[in-house]
A = this chain, B = another copy of it.
């Protein structure tokens, strides 16, 4: 079939105005900075090839970025063939950082992430049951201040972002679905006032973004990332873009009804997917108490040793996991499904069963081309993704995002390098 159906733009959209020289320079600076941010140190020669710009342009762009403290340029350390070496452009990880936060069901985490994605420092504290997200901002800000004292002198903050889990535990132990956003924006504004702004988003969406930018899903257009915590939610990437939904509530896949005669769910419905695949379901099948710390790991290890009850519990959860994955494969037709959060280990323990159920329940055309993978970034995915969100503004307009040092010598002053 030659061509997909795509909706055209709305008729009101006026024709795009022509891009001026300043706009082109802005885009090119962003392309160079984004490249080294995502790919790491890169020679001017390689940037020339990868970005399709000519050598002198790359040289001038890299020099501008270096003059404003966003990258460094150095001669390569390894021996090379004849000719003058091409300078290597590196992101200034220690000099430019993002404040990355996550409000998870049972803990609060904060990291300073350097340009280039390097984790400079990380702190974690428990989240008491019932603590609203807005109340978590104060403790998180204290962690950030503490970390910032240890950063290199003159390090500049490019912005911040917070990933908020969509399922939390109330003070009485009950699981509550849906983020309580009330006051979160105001609390962030109060605690992080002078910076270049703070963004917030759903934890599964942000972890999906992290896997898409730096994990197992790099370069793929159609991905379903499943995140297990107290519940199960998803970040769905379609056509290279996150599906966020009409009110930013997409991806509540844990509440697909897959078993109408099943157990009541905390959401008020019955037979939701997460009643069959959550950690609580695994422990229930294994005859364990949900409150036992470390119990999930014990069940998975027992299953690996071949203990019958544990193995049966894992297989049962994996079968339901495969059934829901089949539904998502039929609906969204992803090229890759990623298992993250607590589902990472569950998938690893029952991968064969998951695939078997997928093969039994999804249409051949969709299931044959889909790969299943454990997440690459582990529990840091949300922080890594939050840092990517926080860097977005800088990468879109490197010199005007309030991060670049405004050198008196002007742009391009250090451009003595050989392209």
A333 is contacted by which of B31, B184, B245, B261 (Cβ under 8 Å)?
B245
Please determine whether B5 and A334 come into contact, CB atoms closer than 8 angstroms.
no
**Is A14 a contact of B331 with CB atoms below 8 Å?**
no
Closest to A179 in B: B1
Given the known inter-chain contacts A18-B20, A388-B8, please indicate yes or no for A253 contacting B50, CB distance below 8 A. no
Contact A27 B15 (CB under 8 A): yes
Could you tell me if A363 and B255 are in contact, using CB atoms closer than 8 angstroms?
Answer: yes
Sorting the interface of chain A by its residue count into under 10, 10 to 19, 20 to 34 or 35 or more gives 35 or more
Taking the closest CB of chain B, its distance from the CB of A144, in whole angstroms, is 18
**Cβ < 8 Å to B, chain A residues 1-51:** 1-21, 23-24, 27-28, 30-31, 34-35, 37-39, 50-51
Stretch at the interface among A121-129, A200-208, A285-293: A200-208
CA distance A364 to B166 in the complex (A): 13
The residue that A334 contacts in the complex, of B51, B212, B246, B335, with Cβ under 8 A, is B246
Would you call B24 and A11 a contact (CB within 8 A)?
no
Q: Is A191 an interface residue (CB 8 A)?
A: no
A52/B14 in contact, CB under 8 A: yes
Identify A256's interface contact among B17, B50, B331, B333, CB under 8 A: B331
The answer to whether B7 and A31 have CB atoms under 8 Å apart is no
Do A11 and B39 have beta carbons less than 8 Å apart? yes
Q: Which B residues touch A247, using CB under 8 A?
A: 333, 335, 365-366, 369
Does A395 interact with chain B (Cβ within 8 Å)?
A: yes
> Taking each of A9, A16, A19, A256, which has the highest tally of chain B beta carbons within 10 Å of its own beta carbon?
A256
Find out whether the CB atom of B21 lies under 8 angstroms from the CB atom of A260: no
Q: Which of the candidate stretches A150-158, A236-244, A299-307, A372-380 sits at the interface with the other chain?
A: A236-244
User: Is B2 in contact with A255, judged by CB distance below 8 angstroms?
Assistant: no
* Chain B residues in 8 Å Cβ range of A200: 1-3
The residue in A2, A5, A363 that gathers the most chain B C-beta atoms within 10 A of its C-beta is: A5
Min C-beta distance of A57 to chain B, whole Å: 10
> Residue A345 at the B interface, CB < 8 A?
no
A38 to B268, CA, bound (A): 44
Q: Is the CB of B249 within 8 A of A213?
A: no
A372 to chain B, nearest CB (A): 13
Residues of B contacting A3 with CB < 8 Å?
Answer: 199-201, 389
Taking a contact as CB atoms under 8 Å apart, the answer to whether B331 and A331 are in contact is yes
Interface pair A1/B181, CB less than 8 Å apart: yes
A250 touches B15 (CB 8 A): no
Query: With A and B bound together, what is the CA distance between A363 and B179 in angstroms?
Result: 12
Is A326's CB within 8 Å of the partner chain B?
yes
* Additional A-B contact list (5), CB under 8 Å, known A238-B243, A249-B363: A2-B200, A3-B200, A5-B389, A18-B19, A256-B327
Shortest 3 CB-CB distances between A and B: which pairs?
Answer: A245-B333, A15-B27, A246-B335
- Contacts A/B (CB < 8 Å), 25 sampled: A1-B184, A2-B200, A6-B242, A11-B35, A11-B37, A12-B51, A15-B30, A16-B27, A19-B19, A177-B363, A178-B365, A221-B246, A222-B245, A239-B241, A243-B332, A245-B332, A246-B333, A246-B334, A246-B335, A247-B369, A250-B332, A251-B333, A253-B330, A268-B360, A331-B332
